[in-house]
Amino acid sequence: MASAVSALVAKCLTDKPMSMSILAGAVRALDFAAVFALGALTFWIYVPDPEADRALYFSVALLAAVVNTMYVHSSGGYTLPGILPYARTVRRVLAAWSAVFATLAVVVFFMKIGTDLSRVWLALWFLSGAAFLAFERAVLASVARRWIRMGRLARRAVIVGGGQAAADLILSLEAQPDNDIRICGVFDDRKDSRSPAVVAGYPRLGTIDELVEFGRIGKIDMLIVTLPLTAEARVLQLLKKLWVLPVDIRLSAHASKLKFRPRSYSYVGSVPLFDVVDKPLADWDRVMKRAFDLTFGLLALLALMPIMVGAAIAIKLDSRGPIFFRQKRYGFNNELIDVWKFRSMYVDQADADAARLVTRGDPRVTRVGRFIRRTSIDELPQLFNVIAGTLSLVGPRPHALSAKADNQLYEQVVDSYFARHRVKPGVTGWAQINGWRGETDTSDKIERRVECDLYYIENWSIAFDLYILFATPLRLLSSENAY
């Protein structure tokens, strides 16, 4: 349970800052579109010759757009240090733009198409492109600086471990020019002289156990552990508690005397950090996952609507009560969400918290309920959850709050249980198509299910989601453990 102070701070961090990766992707797209559009526009205005090879001009414009994006990317022009210092970033983009035309000159020479292209068009396109890119970077640098000051373009970090090591790290981070790290506080189990209440101007907000609750309330991007590498047992103990959070976990290498190759580190300015755990489904992965859910969720909803209508009619005719059943379940980052299902039990025997698992021949289940549970038709209303964004099509199944195995809550049976909530839960998942669906009356069953969930999280891809999605109907032909 978070302390009153840390809970108050966490509630101030519930808005989600913009991801630098998302911003960089948007700038890439703008650069690409602008270079191509300026080439095409210049062609339409300054090449009136009706016999001009339009396809050739547009192919050159497309090639330039691709090559320019590659050159700017390779020079670091889509990173925060490559965006904020205006003079430096303008030099980079103009150098890349000049290199694009040098590349075009080589291509034109070897393909012997120089006489087919207008020199006036090339000159005007070069000048208009250079002017646009310089103006774009001026606006971008100004907007990025303002967003950083406002906290909208910042990575929110928490320092794990206090004392002098934490103070040194904080001072080093704050000394970096154009630093996008926003430190939100310090957490440490120690409350003696080794870890004062204020470290380099930042308060100690609580213990490590309180940090887990803090991370679930606030939108935190990164945890930086300042313990030395020699404290291996303590570091492992911390990671076991903290890896259930959907955040990046970094280990400070600032004060370490052990030196590794530069590529072994990630850097904030010149401050080295060891990458221990990466946030799953971050940045563009999250965007692609959401696009996947909306596309296939809408298609599934349209395709399965006749079955859903038939199930609704059958439920209404079979027993009195509502058609739908709403249940509180754990969602992403342990947030409580409302999950929709077709009602499969008699109204007066419904179990909203799932404190008692459904067993074979359970008298609480209606006649229609047995069929729709065995075929998973009762889960189809969760497609509305997918469209609303509280569920994903594929992911760890959302478990009811009081679900038990061997008369123990799931989190009491499996130490890493809450790590499965680092991503949004799904209508179907890797555990389900591997046979771990339905009743979990033993600890072994929930352990195998969680193992599958964690494997899915660590190995996610769009292709993996497609495989699970299309394999699900085949697995439903086996009704084992589903009743």
Tens of pLDDT, residue by residue over 13-32, are: 767 777 888 888 899 999 99
Answer with the residue of higher pLDDT: 5 or 66. 66
Contact 39, 64 (CB under 8 A): yes
Query: 200-224 pLDDT, tens per residue?
Result: 888 888 888 888 888 888 888 889 9
Task: Tell me 116's DSSP state.
Answer: G
Return the CATH superfamily for domain 1-16+154-279: NAD(P)-binding Rossmann-like Domain (3.40.50.720)
In the structure encoding, which two tokens stand for residue 160, read together? Answer: 């794990």
Confidence at residue 27, expressed as pLDDT on a 0 to 100 scale:
92
Separation of alpha carbons 412 and 398, rounded Å? 17
Contact 227, 187 (CB under 8 A): no
Contact 314, 415 (CB under 8 A): no
Q: CB neighbours (10 Å) of residue 33?
A: 11
Query: 399-446 pLDDT, tens per residue?
Result: 877 766 666 777 777 777 888 888 999 999 998 888 877 666 677 888
Confidence at residue 50, expressed as pLDDT on a 0 to 100 scale:
60
Task: Tell me 365's DSSP state.
Answer: B
Average per-residue pLDDT for the chain:
83
SS3 244: coil
Separation of alpha carbons 382 and 388, rounded Å? 10
Instruction: Kindly list the distances between the CA atom of residue 480 and the CA atoms of 113, 300, 373, 475, in Å, as whole numbers in the listed order.
Output: 68, 24, 11, 10
Q: Which residues contact 386 (CB under 8 A, 6 or more apart)?
A: 293, 294, 297, 392, 393, 427
Separation of alpha carbons 356 and 362, rounded Å? 11
Contact 138, 86 (CB under 8 A): yes
Q: Which residue intervals of 47-118 are DSSP H helices? A: 54-74, 80-83, 86-111
Q: Which residues contact 199 (CB under 8 A, 6 or more apart)?
A: 159, 162, 163, 166, 167, 170, 186
Average pLDDT value for residue range 55-65: 89
Chain centre distance of CA 305: 30
Confidence at residue 144, expressed as pLDDT on a 0 to 100 scale:
87
Confidence at residue 200, expressed as pLDDT on a 0 to 100 scale:
85
The torsion angles phi and psi of 182, rounded to 5 degrees, stand at: -110, 110
Which span out of 79-88, 272-281, 387-396, 433-442 was modeled with the highest average pLDDT? 387-396
Confidence at residue 29, expressed as pLDDT on a 0 to 100 scale:
93
Confidence at residue 258, expressed as pLDDT on a 0 to 100 scale:
59
Q: What percent of the chain is helix, strand and coil (3-state, nearest 5)?
A: 55, 15, 30
Which span out of 1-15, 230-244, 255-269, 370-384 was modeled with the highest average pLDDT? 370-384
What per-residue string of b and e applies to 333-361 under the rule 16 or more CB within 10 Å gives b?
Answer: bbeebebbbbbbbbeeeeeeebeeebeee
Separation of alpha carbons 434 and 417, rounded Å? 18
Separation of alpha carbons 394 and 396, rounded Å? 7
Contact 346, 447 (CB under 8 A): no
Chain centre distance of CA 269: 24
| Ranges of CATH 3.40.50.720 domains, the chain | 1-16+154-279
Query: 119-164 pLDDT, tens per residue?
Result: 888 899 999 999 999 999 999 988 888 888 777 888 888 998 888 8
Look up the pTM and report it: 0.79
Q: Which residues contact 290 (CB under 8 A, 6 or more apart)?
A: 389
The torsion angles phi and psi of 335, rounded to 5 degrees, stand at: -75, 145
Are β-strands 222-225 and 426-428 bridged in parallel, bridged antiparallel, or unpaired? unpaired
Contact 156, 17 (CB under 8 A): yes
In the structure encoding, which two tokens stand for residue 201, read together? Answer: 């101007």
Contact 356, 336 (CB under 8 A): no
